[in-house]
């Protein structure tokens, strides 16, 4: 009898077509789920009979309570090589092997700039007006050349965002708790003396930090109040870096010019979530990692993980 593999949150129904699953299909039956299961009970009802689960990023948490209700689960594959919502100790207790996949840093870089440019030039507003018979020009775009881009985080993604900013002729500064002057100079940017200096002096601020105890709630009401009223905030990293209520208040009050957001406190967003109707907000449904090349890597590596598991030699183990 073949093992059963569930692919969660396959919203575009492409998991089995962007990668070649044929190496495992003689031993594994693959089922994609395009609907998100927003409760533990709903998820258990759908996948309790599966031996392998492939999950995208950190959208679905796998706490001890869930793992205890999946007695057949042998292998859990998470896209990427970091996942903070899996209880690895519980997985080990229940005999579940957890593996990851490769992940490219360029797709979130590109989406960061799509959001930033969309905000700066009023792309959605002007497009809607043009297509809907509205006014011919109603916005005045914000310039990038000569303006300051402030980056919170200068890792793989942040450094690539910085390079694009420099190509636009922007002045780029960066800050994080461990960022050194030497690292900033390697990228060609200036290190800010403090988070507060970066926020107060930037025309555009973009977040590229890992969510953890030191960074959760990094930008609250006090920090957002430091931004210029003409400044834009972009977050394609993690929602928990920014106090969501404080951000909504700033947008509603017009204390900042706008925000480009790809990550949310609840995903998918409920239909009545205030982020869906917030003013001055350009929002996308967590598309940062969603690209053809990344999906080929995610699901191609998932196939390799399954092959290795079947051979008794697991690869890319997490936890």
Indicate which residues carry an active-site annotation. Answer: 238, 267, 286
The SS3 assignment for 153 reads coil
- Pairing of the two strands 258-261 and 52-55: unpaired
- In 3D space, the residue among 254, 307, 267 whose CA is nearest the CA of residue 37 turns out to be 267
Token couple for 264: 């949310």
Greatest Cα pair distance, the chain, in angstroms, is 64
**Which residue spans within the chain are E strands per DSSP?**
3-7, 28-32, 52-55, 75-78, 97-99, 148-152, 171-175, 190-191, 204-207, 232-235, 258-261, 281-283
Residues 6+ apart with CB under 8 A from 158: 151, 152, 174, 206, 208
Token couple for 153: 């985080």
CA 224 to each of CA 2, 24, 45, 62, 174: distance values in angstroms, whole numbers, following the listed order? 54, 50, 42, 33, 17
Chain length of the chain: 319
Q: Other CB atoms closer than 10 Å to residue 20's CB: what's the count?
A: 13
């Amino acid at each position: 009898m073949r093992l059963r593999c569930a692919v969660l949150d396959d919203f575009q129904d492409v998991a089995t077509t962007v990668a070649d699953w044929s190496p495992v299909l003689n031993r594994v039956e693959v089922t994609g789920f395009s609907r998100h299961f927003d409760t533990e009970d709903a998820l258990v009802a759908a996948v309790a009979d599966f031996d392998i689960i492939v999950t995208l990023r950190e959208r679905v948490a796998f706490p001890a309570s869930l793992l205890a209700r999946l007695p057949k689960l042998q292998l859990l594959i998470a896209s990427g090589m970091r996942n903070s919502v899996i209880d690895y100790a519980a997985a080990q207790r229940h005999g579940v092997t957890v593996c990851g996949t490769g992940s490219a840093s360029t797709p979130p870089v590109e989406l960061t700039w799509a959001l930033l440019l969309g905000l700066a030039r009023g792309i959605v507003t002007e497009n809607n007006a043009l297509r809907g018979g509205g006014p011919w020009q109603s916005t005045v775009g914000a310039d990038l050349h000569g303006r300051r881009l402030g980056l919170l985080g200068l890792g793989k993604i942040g450094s690539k965002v910085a390079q694009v900013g420099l190509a636009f002729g922007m002045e780029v500064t960066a800050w994080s708790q461990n960022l050194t002057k030497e690292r900033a100079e390697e990228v060609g940017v200036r290190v800010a003396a403090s988070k507060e200096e970066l926020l107060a002096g930037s025309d555009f601020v973009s977040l590229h930090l890992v969510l953890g105890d030191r960074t959760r709630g990094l930008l609250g009401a006090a920090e957002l109040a430091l931004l210029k009223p003409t400044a834009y905030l972009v977050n394609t990293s993690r929602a928990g870096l920014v106090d969501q209520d404080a951000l909504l208040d700033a947008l509603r009050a017009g204390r900042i010019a706008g925000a480009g957001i790809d990550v949310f406190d609840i995903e998918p967003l409920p239909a009545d979530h205030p982020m869906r109707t917030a003013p001055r907000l350009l929002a996308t449904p967590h598309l940062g990692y969603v690209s053809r090349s990344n999906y080929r890597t995610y699901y191609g590596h998932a196939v390799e993980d399954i092959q290795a598991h079947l051979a008794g030699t697991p690869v890319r183990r997490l936890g």
